[in-house]
Amino acid sequence: MAEPASPAGAAAAALLEALVARGLTHVVVSPGSRSQALALAAARLEREGRIRLAVRIDERVGGFTALGIARETGRPAAVVVTSGTAVAELHPAVLEAFHSGVPMLLLTADRPAELRGTGSNQTTEQPGLFAPAVRAEHDVPAPAGPDDVAAAARIGALAWDESVGRPGPVHVNLQYREPLSGPPAEPVPAAPPPAGPGAAGAPLPIEPGPRTVVVAGDGAGERAEAFARALGVPLLAEVSSGARFGPHLVAAYRELLDEPELGGRVQRAVVFGHPTLSRQVPRLLARPDVEVVVVRAPGERFEPTGGRATTVDGVVAAGQDADRAWTGRWVTASRALVDRTEDLPYVGSPDAPGPRELREHTRAELAALRAPVTRRVLVDAVWRATWPHDRLVLGASRLIREADQVVPGKRIRVLANRGLAGIDGTIATATGVALGLPADGRAGTVRVLLGDLALLHDAGALLQAPGEPVPRLQVIVGNDLGGTIFDTLEVAGTADPADFERVVRTPRPADLEALARAYGWSYRRIETRGDLDRALTAPEARPSLLEVPLSAAAAARPGPRAPA
């Protein structure tokens, strides 16, 4: 007997076909009954070599995996989940995508509308669940015939256009009735490609004029560096800005903004991206004597002045009369603070040290290599080991702030979830970044630098799916046994010490080696700078976890157990 036709299967296939025609290359599936038609259609597309498919049993992990793919590729990935609480699990990633301006397609399966409000199993009000954190939402009735299948294709094409037109998440809630699967559906003609986004407004000409700085926040990109260089002004670039390089870089911007002769004399700030990592930048932008120009970014509107800022689609440098002395003071002072490395002179040069000095220098270097790793040493080593073909993902921990203060300029790709600056999904995001890299084998290592709480919060993302490409991931955990970032806040000095430790700092002495082994990752405990350099410069091909104790308590824990 022939298997009955499934309108759900036909409509699901038509929807995904339309998305592939638009440019979809990645789908993330979390298993479930109501979403089976979408999952099976995605599996067929993978078999045909038309998409790359990732399967994640935890929907929250799946959402952040899709987010990471989009961060790397610049295109939305589709994430497929079943009905009920599975949909709610996507909310953290949806919020991050909305605030960061990252495209994402949420394909959530649902029961028919007539079952809502009846107590039917695994049924809730899914439409509106993500409002107002989506660019658009479509509640699609259960398909019944060919017209509905064609409508599904049109909705798929529309959702893609909405997600990329103004980058962000789009929710497509898909009602399905039984039978939920059946024989493969006939292909539906794809909708024509979009006409493309509308033209942006003309860029605002900026004259050198007043004492100006360029502020590059998270996601600012290389255009911030290019503009600062063209205008001839200091570039205050956060570590995850994508603009932390170039001749005008001021890496030590925090300290220098506190200097009356530099930060105190700023008259104008041009802002790219979303600054989040310091208190000095918000104070600068809030000053009534500072003119603020904000270059519109894909994510949430950034308005740091209470309505005074001028928001534009772009800026262009006008004129060549830059104040070189102004810029030179910033750059010189920054380099003196950040670039503290002392290179050993070439032995053959006239000013080379003698044998005694060389021996003393060598002893000092060996002592440094054998010393315990500090936060500063950790971020410096990771930064130095990362190159343009690699990716560096920074978790929302104390380490990203340490890096923002001390690492010099380098043209590498740094990614971070700074839309809401949460610790959610850091490893899942990095896994998505790795999956989004070209499959030709030329990509480097995706390094993740995070704290122990951020690791434990996303431990489920360590679970790898059989049959999928193994991502080249190196997770470096600065383990200081708790949220030591709170040690730098006022609460550390005002709360009862026992209460502060229990409900704010929340140390969790987990066995990270056992955790890594349970998920099939390699593990290495880092005791010294020499150990760290060796592990970073020769990363394994399979996922690996490096634990770096950063506190006396963490360092006192026993090292790796000997093999049985």
Q: Which among 468, 422, 411, 403 has a CA at the least distance from the CA of 69? A: 468
Q: 496 by DSSP, 3-state: which?
A: coil
Same domain, 272 and 134: no
Same domain, 388 and 512: yes
Reading the chain (564 residues) residue by residue, the pLDDT tens digits are 344 568 999 999 999 999 999 999 999 999 999 999 999 999 999 999 999 999 999 999 999 999 999 999 999 999 999 999 999 999 999 999 999 999 999 999 999 988 888 888 888 889 999 999 999 999 999 999 899 999 999 999 999 999 999 999 999 999 999 988 776 555 555 555 555 555 567 899 998 889 999 999 999 999 999 999 999 999 999 999 999 999 999 999 999 999 999 999 999 999 999 999 999 999 999 999 999 999 999 888 898 988 899 999 999 999 777 789 999 999 999 999 986 543 333 334 444 556 666 566 566 656 666 678 999 999 999 999 999 999 999 999 899 999 999 999 999 999 999 999 999 999 999 999 999 998 777 778 999 999 999 999 999 999 998 889 888 999 999 999 888 888 888 888 899 989 989 998 888 889 999 999 999 999 999 999 999 999 999 888 889 999 999 966 556 565 554 443
Q: Give how far the C-alpha of residue 106 lies from the chain's centroid of Cα atoms, to the nearest Å.
A: 18
Contact in structure between 316 and 202 (CB atoms under 8 Å): no
CATH number reported for the structural domain that contains residue 402 in this entry = 3.40.50.970
What is the four-CA torsion angle of 239, 240, 243, 245, rounded to 10 degrees? Answer: 40
CA distance 213 to 334: 14
Q: Give how far the C-alpha of residue 414 lies from the chain's centroid of Cα atoms, to the nearest Å.
A: 8
Does a structural domain hold residue 134?
yes
Same domain, 392 and 528: yes
In the chain, the number of structural domains is 3
Does a structural domain hold residue 2?
no
* Confidence (pTM): 0.90
Does a structural domain hold residue 188?
no
Q: Which among 243, 411, 408, 255 has a CA at the least distance from the CA of 341? A: 408
How many angstroms separate the Cα of 238 from the Cα of each of 45, 274, 277, 280, 297?
40, 9, 7, 12, 16
Same domain, 138 and 17: yes
Same domain, 151 and 230: no
Same domain, 332 and 372: no
Same domain, 436 and 534: yes
Same domain, 171 and 222: no
- At a CB cut-off of 8 Å and minimum separation 6, what does 325 contact? none
Query: Which of 282, 312, 338 is the endpoint of a domain?
Result: 338
Same domain, 396 and 292: no
Query: Which of 310, 338, 366 is the endpoint of a domain?
Result: 338
Same domain, 386 and 446: yes
State the residue range of the domain holding 103. Answer: 7-175
CA distance 476 to 449: 5
Q: Give how far the C-alpha of residue 355 lies from the chain's centroid of Cα atoms, to the nearest Å.
A: 49
Q: Which among 418, 367, 425 has a CA at the least distance from the CA of 65? A: 425
Does a structural domain hold residue 1?
no
CATH number reported for the structural domain that contains residue 260 in this entry = 3.40.50.1220
Given strand 310-312, what is the order of strands in its sheet? 235-237, 212-216, 268-272, 291-295, 310-312
